[in-house]
């Protein structure tokens, strides 16, 4: 069993963000804790807990969960530990922004049980950070990492975004080198996408921002794969690389089809073949919790075809790949000849060149 807490609060919406967030000057930490604790208690008798599976990972994502009072995070972790078996080596991740990291907060997070931090750096270029509407400065990244290390965090992930518009003049290789200089255990690299309803979407429609062409996005992606490999990182998923032993166990559970429970507005949960999700907006979620109403907005059951497609897609996005007999021989051989895949030990796994074509490759696999 794996738990996800969606914390929607942010100081400002980033230019590219279409996540379910709530911009607040002051974060209602206690109200969030109380609401999510009630939702957590509502799951205690659900068949999802049949056999009392232990909680193996906990992930606080968002939004900006580092805007919560550390005591509220500690209260939620304590509640989980009090109610369910928790693995001795449980991985507990907190997503943070550099400007939220202070020595006091870092110590509070560690005291709450946080043992993995995902730090939203995105770039080391001040102009790019301003364009993205990020609140932190480059100097704050260094001070944040120092505070986290001093507090005892030994599992640190940095997020970077590539393929930003050319007019920003961003040095992608320089950003990677800057990140690697901090010796993080993990790196997540995301290509910039233009989502409807975001400031970036409006800028693009007005011609104020010109998206990076596909070939440059591909070049930057492959450049990152090579640079990280030389530095000793293993690309274990299409967007993630880590030093040996430091892959994200929580996110890997999603890709392996494990059972997970999401708590908070817009959070998703699922077991093999079944999915459900909560209402998206914090105000509606909080109102329903206060009124004793269900917060689930929808459910779906995946038929055998959908389960097969999901398993194929999730497997191919990781370095583990999928069993070779999942792909017709002619198709797999064509992938290998193009340099998009490797066949070994009864499995087929994609290369970085293949990951660039993941959606197209999966859609081209014929039904059995």
Write out pLDDT tens, residues 210-255.
989 999 999 999 999 999 999 999 999 999 999 999 999 999 999 9
Given a cut of 80, is residue 133 above it in pLDDT?
yes
**pLDDT tens track for 321-330:** 999 999 999 9
Q: Residues 151-205: pLDDT tens digits?
A: 999 999 999 999 999 999 999 999 999 999 999 999 999 999 999 989 999 999 9
Give the confidence band of 367 by pLDDT, cuts at 50, 70, 90. Answer: confident
Mean pLDDT of 267-281: 93
Q: Is the pLDDT of residue 77 over 80?
A: yes
Residue 368: predicted pLDDT: 65
Per-residue pLDDT, 272: 81
pLDDT in tens, 84-126: 999 999 999 999 999 999 999 999 999 999 999 999 999 999 9
Rounded to whole angstroms, the Cα distance separating 135 from 97 reads 8
- Taking the C-alpha atoms of residue 61 and residue 184, their distance in angstroms, rounded to an integer, is 19
Round the average pLDDT of the chain to a whole number and report it.
Answer: 94
C-alpha–C-alpha distance, residues 194 and 192, integer Å: 7
Check the CA dihedral 110-113-116-117 and report its sign. Answer: negative
Q: What is the C-alpha separation between 138 and 363, in angstroms, rounded?
A: 41
> Above 80 in pLDDT, residue 256?
yes
Q: What is the mean pLDDT of residues 355-364?
A: 94
Helix runs in the chain, H state only: 29-42, 70-83, 103-112, 126-131, 138-151, 172-181, 199-205, 214-230, 249-255, 282-291, 304-316, 329-338, 352-355, 358-364
CA–CA distance, 43 with 325 (Å, rounded to integer):
39
pLDDT score recorded for residue 12: 87
**Do the beta carbons of residue 41 and residue 73 sit within 8 Å?**
no
Set out the domains of the chain in order of their start, with CATH numbers: 2-254 (3.20.20.70), 320-368 (no CATH)
pLDDT, average across residues 283-308: 94
pLDDT over 80 (residue 208): yes
């Amino acid at each position: 069993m794996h738990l996800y807490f969606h914390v929607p609060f942010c100081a400002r919406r980033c230019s590219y963000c279409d996540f379910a967030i709530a911009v607040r000057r002051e974060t209602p930490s206690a109200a969030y804790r109380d609401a999510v604790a009630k939702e957590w208690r509502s799951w205690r008798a659900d068949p999802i807990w049949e056999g009392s599976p232990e909680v193996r990972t906990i992930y606080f994502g968002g939004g900006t969960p580092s805007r919560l009072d550390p005591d509220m995070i500690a209260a939620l972790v304590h509640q989980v530990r009090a109610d369910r078996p928790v693995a001795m080596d449980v991985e507990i991740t907190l997503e943070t922004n550099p400007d939220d990291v202070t020595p006091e907060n870092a110590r509070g997070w560690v005291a709450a049980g946080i043992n993995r931090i995902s730090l939203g750096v995105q770039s080391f270029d001040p102009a790019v950070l301003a364009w993205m509407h990020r609140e932190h400065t480059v100097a704050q990244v260094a001070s944040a990492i120092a505070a986290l290390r001093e507090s005892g965090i030994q599992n640190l992930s940095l997020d970077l975004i590539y393929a930003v518009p050319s007019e920003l003049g961003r040095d992608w290789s320089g950003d990677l080198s800057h990140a690697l200089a901090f010796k993080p255990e993990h790196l997540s690299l995301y290509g910039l996408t233009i989502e409807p309803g975001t400031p970036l979407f409006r800028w693009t429609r007005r011609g104020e921002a010109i998206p990076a062409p596909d070939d440059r996005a591909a070049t930057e992606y492959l450049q990152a794969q090579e640079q990280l490999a030389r530095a000793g990182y293993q690309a274990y998923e299409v967007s993630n690389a880590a030093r040996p032993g430091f892959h994200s166990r929580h996110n890997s559970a999603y890709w392996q089809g494990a059972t997970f429970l999401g708590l908070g507005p817009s959070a998703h949960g699922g077991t093999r073949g079944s999915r459900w999700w909560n209402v998206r907006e914090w105000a509606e979620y909080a109102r329903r919790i206060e009124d004793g109403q269900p917060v689930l907005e929808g459910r779906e059951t995946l038929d055998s075809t959908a389960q097969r497609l999901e398993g194929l897609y999730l497997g191919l996005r990781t370095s583990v790949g999928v069993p070779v007999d999942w792909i017709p021989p002619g198709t797999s051989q064509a992938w290998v000849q193009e340099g998009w895949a490797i066949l070994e030990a009864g499995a087929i796994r994609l290369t970085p060149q293949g990951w660039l074509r993941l959606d197209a490759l999966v859609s081209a696999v014929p039904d059995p």
